[in-house]
Structure 1
């Protein structure tokens, strides 16, 4: 975010939507968070063929668990003016993106038709191509003239822009697991540069084939018991989830002028890359510290005033201690009171939504800031011995309760396996 006046850099979240494991919409997601629901289940019947993976196979036990959506094949094609044949050829993520975009605009009290021809942007995080892989297994006869666009990951964002008649920037972002939060960052940049007057930003992810989860297992990144133990001594890997989320963004000054309901304000954000480190897939603590310094400088905000950070928080043995050390160094020190920085991870509720993970963390924080309630992070009993919580002045928020005393100021982190990191600074809506 590049303008000089902090007030002019602020971006308002004026609408939201989501569909995640255990929650079909925004209200159900808040209920899930507030009630501390664990939405991880066995793989739905008929989703994957796991005959080649025997029960109890060492290192692969977690393949049979995850966070899943119901009825991923359902889609009201007629509502969007799409023929049943074309809808069948579309990657279900395109369908999900259309539904989430429409619902987010409704939540923002924006009539979609009024945006036709406007400089409205779409930035959507997405990774992998499970549906295309499934189609290609059936050979050339499964490919139609709708497949070129229907199976393209790059068209996911374009599909939304086309259906709504939007003329602003439109692109699918793939920065691995940080994709959707990077999409939010790019959307803010687009608004602040004047390239767009309104932006839809978020991400979608579906686990339609087992190979992606098998890859996590073979890399040692999958929790064998299907639970994410973020910052806990039992941390043994992540658990995969699916779903999506969308936020509607405007410059704060425009939102106030338009009389919009502002759910929270994005004060600043930053993106960088590990740029070396010990390995391509190994997080780098120095880069994460630089990311945090940059984000709070952009937000013109004292990092020591932050009360909560929604972690990347995958529950991996390597990643959690590195993330904790960076947070402690930048946000944990020089705090104006005796209270530690509270941290948590929505991945403990619904799993890791890969390219959609970051925006779901942002929506969790937006709901928390709006409601003045901080939901618990699940599966936490005792700190990871590699994370000196007291010295770093961190504490896992393991009990749902009122927002801690002080400003409703929070951060959201998301990191990609290839080293692309993103952090967004979130504040309360102005009175």
Structure 2
């Protein structure tokens, strides 16, 4: 290599430009690096307490909807079939977890007294996060740059004490046991993690926004490992009463997505977590790579005809940008795990947006479905349930059946859109190209 002192000013300038170009290329590459999913864990309705049981539920087309458990609240005190009845809930059904009262606080170095004030959502997060790390074969060191990103939106457990009208029973532990910010913070505290930590509430998209932010953090170098997911439990009746007043719920507690009978959504609960690493790191470390996130995008509907009314144009813009970020052509996408809440308005808007963008250059129909037909709408944890379903579909090379699809919705122009709803287990081959969802 030539001595810099022997170079002319022009040669030095050219060399400096080359070095700067190389640095910029490295930065740009890191900002676009794919993210590997190296571990998953879950607790979902229907006894799906791990990924294997969850896949069994999906493959067999199980509907996990049941009556409200007696240990939550006395549904007889709140149920009324009249949707206009104030203070009442017009459905008796939803999709619930079992044994949410069971927890081993000593394992996480939590005293029994503090555990009493601990929101069961925090307990679930601790357990499922630990299981996700075990699934990934990862042991993050104390003090490591491991990020934690949690979607969470309700704190029903705090409502129980508030409405018990017993302020003298409130302890110092009730604040840290029930504040939403502490749900994510406790994970980093227990595991000694010093990467970014945040609780995210963007309503139904919370857990997927958590995954998006985790990917961004990994690409930016803020985190070297990331835990992302969401949790949702129904512990008091207030939210169901509000949703009944909004007429958002299905009377039979089921999401009949894309069907003519779609009449609202059924509430569900659960917890899901994924463990994420930069793809280059995962490959170098010999990790078991379950799936790869090549691109993601977040936006807001902005102005629409109503505060809770979806904006189809905004959805189209989101999909196009996500494809651009992932360097994926629309026709390469085989399957979309939709939001699909089962509403007469929301479903048609979403399907039209998907068909418009992903129909370009397509020779085979786009498969669409939603896990909500199995386990209900998990609200803050809905997105992570769908993501884990897709990861398992990759692993098993199969798209599981979409339930409650008997009469296609007349509000969706099926003949004009290249989409198909799989109602039976459908083989998902990767012989000619990678599976993309």
Partner in structure 1 of residue 278 of structure 2: 251
1:284 aligned residue: 311
- The CA deviation at 1:58 is 4.2
Q: CA deviation at 1:346?
A: 0.2
Q: 2:35 aligns with which of 2, 5, 11?
A: 11
Work out whether 1:374 is the aligned partner of 2:402.
no
Q: Distance in 1 between matches of 2:233 and 2:134?
A: 24
1:68 — aligned with what?
Answer: 96
Give the aligned partner of residue 145 of structure 2: 119
Alpha carbons 2:81, 2:90 under 8 Å: kept? no
Residue in 2 aligned with 1:32? Answer: 57
Of 247-256 and 217-226, more deviation after overlay is shown by 217-226
**Correspondence 1:383 to 2:408:** yes
Correspondence for 2:14:
none
Aligned residue-pair number: 406
RMSD: 1.7
Deviations 1:90-117 (A, max 9, x none): 1111111100110000000113xx4211
Match of 1:189 among 209, 216, 227: 216
Structure ranking higher in helix proportion: 2
Structure 2 gaps of 5+ residues are 1-25
Query: TM-score, structure 1 length as denominator?
Result: 0.91
389, 393, 396: which one aligns with 2:418:
393
- Identify which of 66, 86, 104 aligns with 1:41: 66
Partner of 1:234: 261
In the aligned structure 2, how far is the partner of 1:267 from the partner of 1:239? 31
CA distance in 1, matches of 2:28, 2:420: 34
Deviations, residues 235-280 of structure 1 (Å, cap 9, x unaligned): 1111000011000000000000000000000010000001111121
State the distance in 2 between where 1:36 and 1:316 align.
Answer: 21
- After superposition, residues 16-415 of structure 1 pair within 5 angstroms as 16-22=40-46, 23-58=48-83, 63-111=91-139, 114-138=140-164, 139-335=166-362, 337=363, 339-403=364-428, 407-411=433-437
The TM-score, its normalising length taken from structure 2, stands at 0.90
CA drift at 1:303: 1.5
Tell me, in whole angstroms, the C-alpha distance in 1 between the residues paired with 2:68 and 2:436: 34
The DSSP-based 3-state class of the residue aligned with 2:336 is: strand
**Larger radius of gyration between Structure 1 and Structure 2:** 2
Q: Distance in 2 between matches of 1:54 and 1:327?
A: 37
The 8 Å contact of residues 63 and 214 in structure 1, kept in 2 or not, is answered as: no
Structure 1, unpaired ranges of 5+: 412-431
Contact 1:293-1:330 within 8 A present in 2 as well: yes
Summarize the Cα distance change of 1:53–1:93 in structure 2 as closer, same or farther, 3 Å threshold: closer
Contact 1:198 1:250 in 2 (8 A): yes
Following TM superposition, by how much is the alpha carbon of 1:24 offset from its aligned partner in structure 2, in angstroms? Answer: 1.3
Greater strand content: 1
For residues 6 and 323 of structure 1, what CA distance do their matches in structure 2 show? 32
Secondary structure of 1:51's counterpart equals helix
Q: Residue 51 of structure 1: CA displacement?
A: 3.5
